[in-house]
Amino acid sequence: MLKESIKEQILIKVKGEAFKKHPFFYLYDLSNITSKLELLNTYAADNISLYYAMKANSNFEILELIKKHPNVKGVEIASSGELDIALSHFKPLQVIYTGPGKRPYELELSLNNKIRFLSAESLTEVYRISELIEIHNLGKADILIRINPNYDIKNSLKKMGGISSKMGIDEDRIIDVLEEVLKFKNINVAGVHVFAASGIIEHKDLLEYVEYIFRLVSKIESICNREFKIIDFGGGFGIDYSCANKKFNVEAFFNHLKMLVDNFQYNNKELVLELGRFITAEAGYYISQIIDIKESKGKKHIIIGGGINHIRLIRKHPINIIPMGNRLIYDKQPAVKDEFVEIEGPLCFGEDKIDEDIFIKEANIGDLVVISHVGAYGYNVASLEFLCHPKPNEYVCCNA
């Protein structure tokens, strides 16, 4: 069920002039983001550094909110475009840069802007970084080395480790590579980076993986005879898109993590946590008017104002209808009542679907469809220029 406060905010935006022509928008509930940051703040130990993964949502009002939160150490970016945005909100030392296939220009920009560190994902990147430091007379730079661990994380939304991957350096080769990297005079390997999966709901699955990583780091440290100050173990905190009341247990995760840290005597290490989805996903709503309802071969189709050009859903999201009590356009106008329907965008492609076979209690042309949990990988992932429809506006609300 949609919160009353959100419904109120939606109805305010619907009354605006923009909605008459372009009846669709995103709405971000800033209070939800703040409560996520508070939750993390309450349970995270002092040696946890929280970075916001900008790729989840780069809306500037969200960035401003996150920047101001005392618990947020900075922002994790993955392109020159994100660097540009990051530097207009954060200090360079608050920026960390990860991602495979960084262009030489991106490495150069990052080094010249003296961001906190780059995570190097291959020897090629390390050589390029070293050469650029020399060319620009930058002294010495901190980097992390990204490992692709031999670990298949359980029940994750997306696997990024344990398989042949473009990301990081295989665990089996990491010692050889590190020994080469440690020889560079102008590069300081400040730590290691691993990001094996995302969207994990069971905190125990993530803890097992963290324990694996801690063991791996200890092994590497002992073989290389060297201590790493930073372990960036990525993100992974999941969101329950199905609303089946499953929640990633932040308190239990951090409590057990503390025990792991004590066991490994890692209290002097900085543990970097990159969270994107967990912080913004549940704050976002996509709203569109119902443009038409059609019956075809025994099935009703609800057509809304935006499809994959506004939102590319890869799973079922909670969907609510807000009745608007619009006048009938004509007498026999189709409506939906207690039935399983398709919800689709306006593009002339069958793939342009929002949801299939979803049960809708009641819906009429002119009512609002509200899709929840779209604050991460929503607006940014959409095919925004497809068919040249106007882009959805992005509004924020509920800032305390």
Verify whether residue 388 is a known catalytic residue.
no
Instruction: Report the nearest approach of a copy of itself to the CB of residue 292 (Å).
Output: 5
Determine contact, residues 26/393, Cβ cutoff 8 Å.
yes
Determine contact, residues 29/285, Cβ cutoff 8 Å.
yes
- Between 99 and 191, whose beta carbon lies closer to a copy of itself? 99
- Between 36 and 193, whose beta carbon lies closer to a copy of itself? 193
- Between 64 and 221, whose beta carbon lies closer to a copy of itself? 64
Instruction: Report the nearest approach of a copy of itself to the CB of residue 69 (Å).
Output: 22
According to DSSP, the residues that pair with 370 across neighbouring strands are 287, 320
Q: Tell me how far apart the alpha carbons of residues 209 and 205 are, in angstroms, rounded to a whole number.
A: 7
Cβ neighbours, 10 Å, residue 68:
11
Instruction: Report the nearest approach of a copy of itself to the CB of residue 103 (Å).
Output: 6
Determine contact, residues 279/66, Cβ cutoff 8 Å.
yes
- Between 231 and 304, whose beta carbon lies closer to a copy of itself? 304
Instruction: Identify how many contiguous H helices and E strands the chain contains and give both numbers.
Output: 11, 19
Residue 53 in tokens: 């993964």
- Between 20 and 229, whose beta carbon lies closer to a copy of itself? 20
Q: Tell me how far apart the alpha carbons of residues 85 and 102 are, in angstroms, rounded to a whole number.
A: 17
Q: Which of 152, 156, 154, 130 is nearest to 143 (CA)?
A: 130
Determine contact, residues 308/86, Cβ cutoff 8 Å.
no
Active-site hit among 348, 388, 397, 398: 348
Determine contact, residues 20/286, Cβ cutoff 8 Å.
no
Instruction: Report the nearest approach of a copy of itself to the CB of residue 131 (Å).
Output: 8
Instruction: Report the nearest approach of a copy of itself to the CB of residue 41 (Å).
Output: 26
Q: Which residues are catalytic?
A: 348
